Amino acid sequence: MTRVFISRDMASVALGADDVARAFADAGCEVVRTGSRGLFSIEPLVEIETAEGRIGYGPATPADVAAILDGSHPNRLGDIAALPFFAKQQRFTFARCGIVDPLSLADYAAHGGWIGLDIARAAEPQAVVDAVKASGLRGRGGAGFPTGIKWQTVLDAPNSPKYIVCNADEGDSGTFADRMLMEGDPYCLIEGMAIAAHAVGASHGYIYIRSEYPFAIDTMRDAIALSAGRIAPFTLEVRAGAGAYVCGEETALLDSIEGKRGQVRAKPPLPALAGLFGKPTVINNVLSLAAVPFILSEGADAYANVGFGRSRGTMPVQLAGNVKHGGLFEVGFGITLGELVNDIGGGTASGRPVRAAQVGGPLGAYFPPSMFDLPFDYEAFTQAGGLIGHAGITIFDDRVDMAHMARFAMEFCAAESCGKCTPCRIGSTRGVEIVDRIIAARETEPARTATQEGTLGKALYSRAPDRIDVSLGAQTTLLRDLCDTMKYGSLCALGGFTPYPVLSALDHFPEDFGAPAPALEAAE
């Protein structure tokens, strides 16, 4: 019987993978549902097992079954791993994704699974922490904090019990790496958490998954049940979120697991010392934890040898938005933004020129093509007024209105603000109002309404509606001042990072805010 591999990933299913799989089953094939390889322009992808290895066809429809089975289909792609999109990758974390049956323990073991856990459990906790430190792994959720140092703090914390919490509240627009991994290789995350538990002395862990990921929730629950014996005495459970973006902030996430309103906590105390239920807690992103099995099985050096500057190892970059080849691209740090957008992504799907790329989700900065030589590196992006975040890249063509994008950033913050700290709670709403005034004033400078010059106007002072200066200049200054208050005054990254997209739009695309376009760089 012919073995056929078809993805059960949510993105593939959205593109029709279930119908294709049913058609192959009806045709008498043995259909193995895998995760996604990660290139959506070839989904639904069908891989046929042959003597020469797997031969891929995609995109495929149920009508294509016969042509695919007899090898005549025009969308024949051959060996998927040999496609340039995949050949250029360094798949440390996503090595198995798209290849194995996600819930097959045999597949997982056959593809190098559990080696890292066995090595870790044979070693002292301190040795495991040292290996993670030596790998240079930094928090993949966006903050880039060295994972090994966080683990060391938890290992050294005297209080008990300790917890491992996985942040799988992947809320950034344009990101999907966490979801892909949980749906395509759940044991990898479980193994990473079990290693973390051994390293710091925890016995129970939580995976907090956003409610918008029903497939990932089901897959992780099934995988936890199936692997319970393998990771014992460590135990795991899945907690589903309730739709709040801010619950991806680690302390709000902890409050949410505790059954409270998801509000950001002030730090200190660090979650590493007083986290979940006030106990020492490792809280890491899916990608950080899923990178750990490789580090243990292949050695810290194997991981650390790849990378750029202080950013070591690989990053699963997610290309989305108006892009030709959207998907997941895992690669060592140091690749430039331009390579990712143009060479890997192939430019826009619309075929129009790229005008901007937003890196790091809705709170990331917008970069114009003039800055596409930036190397993918935490420090380089910070220096350029941006951030890597969760490595989601959203691409826009030349029809984008950057004032609207700045407004969207404020609107997003206003919609998702938990309401705890003042700069975010009030500032984001005021930010939307300011950008609206700017958009209104872009075309024609507003005429000042006739002021109540009389005593009443004076007496009302700033209360008088006509007192405020709605000119472009004044509103732009106010927007920058507001961004300053939010960036440096907010309690968490939601309010604190909202200025990135706003200020980068203002800085790099001033013409969209009614100001003169920046002079072209002096030609080199």
Partner 1 sequence: MGFTRETDHGTPPALVTGRNVTLTIDGEQVTLPEGTSIMRAASLSGGSIPKLCATDNVESFGSCRLCLVEVEGRAGYPASCTTPVAEGMVVRTQTERLKQLRRGVMELYISDHPLDCLTCAANGDCELQDQAGAVGLRDVRYGYDGATNMGQPKDQSNPYFDFDPSKCIVCSRCVRACDEVQGTFALTIEGMGFNSKIAASQNDSFLASDCVSCGACVQACPTASLIEKKVVETGTPDRAVVTTCAYCGVGCTFRAEMRGQELVRMVPWKDGKANRGHSCVKGRFAWGYAQHQERILSPMIRASVSEPWREVSWDEAIAHTASEFRRIQDKYGRLAVGGITSSRCTNEETFLVQKLIRQGFGNNNVDTCARVCHSPTGYGLKTTFGTSAGTQDFDSVEQADVILVIGANPTDAHPVFGSRMKQRLRPKNGKAGAKLIVIDPRRIDLVKSPHIAAEHHLPLRPGTNVALLTAMAHVVATEKLYDEAFIRTRCDWDEFQDWADFVSEASRSPEAIEPLTGVRAADLRAAARLYATGGNAAIYYGLGVTEHSQGSSTVMAIANLAMATGNIGREGVGVNPLRGQNNVQGACDMGSFPHEFSGYRHVSDAAVRETFEAAWGVTLDSEPGLRIPNMLDAATDGSFKGLFIQGEDILQSDPNTHHVAAGLAAMECVVVQDLFLNETANYAHVFLPGSTFLEKDGTFTNAERRIQMVRKVMAPLNGYGDWEVVQLVANAMGLGWNYTHPSQIMDEIAALTPTFAGVHYDRLEAEGSLQWPANDAAPDGTPTMHIDGFVRGKGKFVVTDYVPTDEKTGPRFPLLLTTGRILSHYNVGAQTRRTANTAWHPEDRLEIHPLDAENRGIKEGDWVSLKSRAGETTLRALITERVAPGVVYTTFHHPDTQANVITTDYSDWATNCPEYKVTAVQVGLSNGPSDWQEDYAEQARQSRRIMTVEAAE
Binding footprint of partner 1 on the chain (CB under 8 A): 159, 244, 261, 263, 265-268, 274, 278-279, 414-430, 433-434, 462-463, 465, 467-469, 474, 478, 481-482, 484-485, 488-491
CA distance 259 to 11: 31
Find the shortest distance in angstroms from Cβ 323 to partner 1: 31
Reduced 3-state DSSP string for 282-343: EEEEHHHHHHHHHHHHHCHHHHHCCEECCEECEEEEEEEECCCCCEEEEEECCCEHHHHHHH
Nearer to partner 1, 179 or 407 (CB): 407
Nearer to partner 1, 321 or 495 (CB): 495
Find the shortest distance in angstroms from Cβ 138 to partner 1: 16
Nearer to partner 1, 497 or 509 (CB): 497
Nearer to partner 1, 281 or 348 (CB): 281
Q: Could you tell me the two tokens for 112?
A: 């190098």
Nearer to partner 1, 199 or 414 (CB): 414
Nearer to partner 1, 461 or 517 (CB): 461
Nearest to 358 by CA among 307, 324, 327, 392: 392
Nearer to partner 1, 34 or 490 (CB): 490
Find the shortest distance in angstroms from Cβ 161 to partner 1: 11
Task: Name beta bridge partners: 5.
Answer: 32, 47
Nearest to 238 by CA among 222, 262, 227: 222
What is the residue whose two structure tokens read 């106990």? 279
Q: 95: which DSSP letter?
A: S
Nearer to partner 1, 118 or 469 (CB): 469
Find the shortest distance in angstroms from Cβ 428 to partner 1: 7
What is the residue whose two structure tokens read 């990921």? 213
Find the shortest distance in angstroms from Cβ 464 to partner 1: 9
Cα torsion angle, 36, 39, 44, 50, sign: negative
Nearer to partner 1, 99 or 483 (CB): 483
Contact 380, 134 (CB under 8 A): no
Find the shortest distance in angstroms from Cβ 317 to partner 1: 27
Find the shortest distance in angstroms from Cβ 262 to partner 1: 9
CA distance 276 to 271: 7
Q: Could you tell me the two tokens for 356?
A: 């901007």
Find the shortest distance in angstroms from Cβ 276 to partner 1: 11
Find the shortest distance in angstroms from Cβ 414 to partner 1: 6
Q: Could you tell me the two tokens for 131?
A: 């290996």
Contacts of 226 (CB under 8 A, 6+ apart): 103, 105
Got the DSSP string for 402-462?
HHHHHHHHHHHHHHH--S-SHHHHTHHHHHHHHHHHHHHHHHSPPPPPPP--SHHHHHHGG
